[in-house]
Every structure is written in C-alpha cells, then in structure tokens.
Amino acid sequence: DAGVIQSPRHEVTEMGQEVTLRCKPISGHNSLFWYRQTMMRGLELLIYFNNNVPIDDSGMPEDRFSAKMPNASFSTLKIQPSEPRDSAVYFCASSLWGGGSNEQFFGPGTRLTVL
C-alpha cells in the first residue's frame, strides 16, 4: 500500500497566485481530512469529508480556501489568491470511518511558501 499520496511536496509561489494541493487517500478509506501546520498555530483541521461529502469546513480560514473531493480517490485544496500568511505545511489524512478507533493515516505533507 502506497499510503496517502500528496502532491506537490513543495510549492513556492508568489502572493496572489492560485495554489492547488492534491491528495490521494488510501484505497478503501471513506474519510479524508485536510490539516495545516504552522509553528504558531500547530496542527489545525481545515475540512473533512465523509464518503466524498464535506462534513465540516469550519476550520477553513477564509473564502480564499476551497476543497473538493470529486471521487473517493482524489481531493484538492485550493487557495485563490494566496497570501504570505498561508505559508505552512498542509497535510492530508484518510481513515476508515467507523467506531472509535478511526486511525488516521497522514500523507507526507506539502510545504507551501508564498512570497
């Protein structure tokens, strides 16, 4: 099993540009989570999906952020327009929803730098 796959691993862009982060969850998992990690705020949940449906997007910081999950094997997190304060490591995680165990498997993350 390849685990959760994220791309790109590193992204450097300029303020105002659109950024799209991609995630492929583990096959068979039905829940997907997007997190953001910064030194100041730690690891924050942005949004999560269950069976491709967004359940809670209250962690999405602004309307500049949007996430989609068109099918069970792919999700995107888009920032438009990007700002320097969006610089962070963005993690995608997936799990098999059910019971209390809900172990989450994290991808390697995308390190985003907005200049």
Per CB under 8 A, contacts with other proteins among 54-73 are 56
Cβ-contact 23, 6 below 8 angstroms: yes
Residue 106 near other proteins by CB under 8 A:
yes
- Helical (H) or strand (E) element with 75: strand 74-79
Q: Convert residues 32-51 into a mask of x (bound to other proteins by CB under 8 A) and - (unbound).
A: -x-x------xxxx--x---
Residue 5: how many other CB atoms lie within 10 Å: 15
Q: Provide the 3-class DSSP secondary structure of residue 106.
A: strand
- Rounded-to-integer distance, Cα 98 and Cα 109, Å: 25
Residue 1 near other proteins by CB under 8 A:
no
Stretch that binds other proteins, among 20-28, 63-71, 77-85, 98-106 (CB under 8 A): 98-106
Per CB under 8 A, contacts with other proteins among 5-34 are 31, 33
Which among 79, 84, 93 is positioned nearest to 45, based on CA atoms? Answer: 93
Interface residues with other proteins (CB under 8 A) are 4, 31, 33, 35, 42-45, 48, 56, 91, 93, 97-109
